[in-house]
């Protein structure tokens, strides 16, 4: 098997802390999973997931899975960074430079593409793009289907 035929790992990191607006992250991940299952080259991808991600989980998951693609879904707060959880499930902001520094380390090991599906995450995408070739961030609020209770 040459490098182009090897399995690429997609790591989904999801965070929706208790004290933030509820998001349908499970629905987003289900759509990604179903799309991969229907794809012609589905055998070339393996999907891994981590939920209620804290800063150390973010770092450890990338170390453990060595993914080629990292997809973060959750909240973004523009210039300040992205939102993860603390040990009590409440929000903690990971600053843009901290996030970029993490990807600086991982770009050399495995990460080729980063998707930040979080509001106003373009700032983080630009910072990460110094180290990772393919990065997608959002330049406005990202819509989410309303959560029904």
Query: In sequence order, what are the residues at sequence separation of 6 or more whose Cβ sits closer than 8 angstroms to the Cβ of residue 26?
Result: none
Distances (CA, A) of 69 to 19, 40, 77, 90, 138: 28, 18, 22, 26, 17
Confidence of residue 147 (pLDDT cuts 50, 70, 90): very low
**pTM over cut 0.95:** no
Tokens of 130: 């110094």
Each residue's pLDDT tens digit, 8-64: 999 999 999 999 999 999 999 999 999 999 999 999 999 999 999 999 999 999 999
Distance, CA of 100 to chain centre: 13
Q: Are 101 and 62 a contacting pair, CB within 8 Å?
A: no
CATH number of 3-136: 3.40.50.1460
Query: In sequence order, what are the residues at sequence separation of 6 or more whose Cβ sits closer than 8 angstroms to the Cβ of residue 11?
Result: 48, 49, 50, 61, 62, 65, 67, 69, 70, 71
Q: What is the dihedral of CA 141, 134, 50, 91, to 10 degrees?
A: -40
**Average pLDDT over every residue of 61-82:** 96
The pLDDT of residue 107 is 86
Confidence of residue 2 (pLDDT cuts 50, 70, 90): very low
DSSP 40: T
**Average pLDDT over every residue of 83-102:** 96
Query: In sequence order, what are the residues at sequence separation of 6 or more whose Cβ sits closer than 8 angstroms to the Cβ of residue 17?
Result: 75, 83, 84, 85, 86, 89, 90, 91, 92
């Amino acid at each position: 098997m040459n490098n182009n035929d090897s399995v690429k790992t997609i790591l989904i990191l999801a965070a929706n802390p208790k004290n933030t607006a509820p998001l349908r992250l499970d629905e987003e991940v289900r759509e990604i999973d179903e799309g991969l299952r229907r794809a012609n080259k589905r055998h070339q991808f393996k999907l891994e997931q981590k939920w209620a991600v804290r800063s150390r989980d973010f770092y450890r998951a990338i170390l453990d899975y060595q993914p080629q693609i990292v997809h973060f879904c959750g909240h973004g707060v523009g210039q300040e960074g992205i939102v993860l959880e603390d040990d009590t499930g409440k929000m903690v902001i990971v600053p843009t430079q901290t996030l970029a520094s993490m990807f600086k380390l991982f770009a050399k090991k495995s990460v080729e593409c980063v998707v930040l599906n979080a509001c106003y995450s373009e700032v983080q995408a630009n910072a990460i793009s110094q180290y990772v070739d393919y990065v997608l961030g959002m330049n406005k609020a990202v819509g989410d289907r309303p959560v029904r209770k």
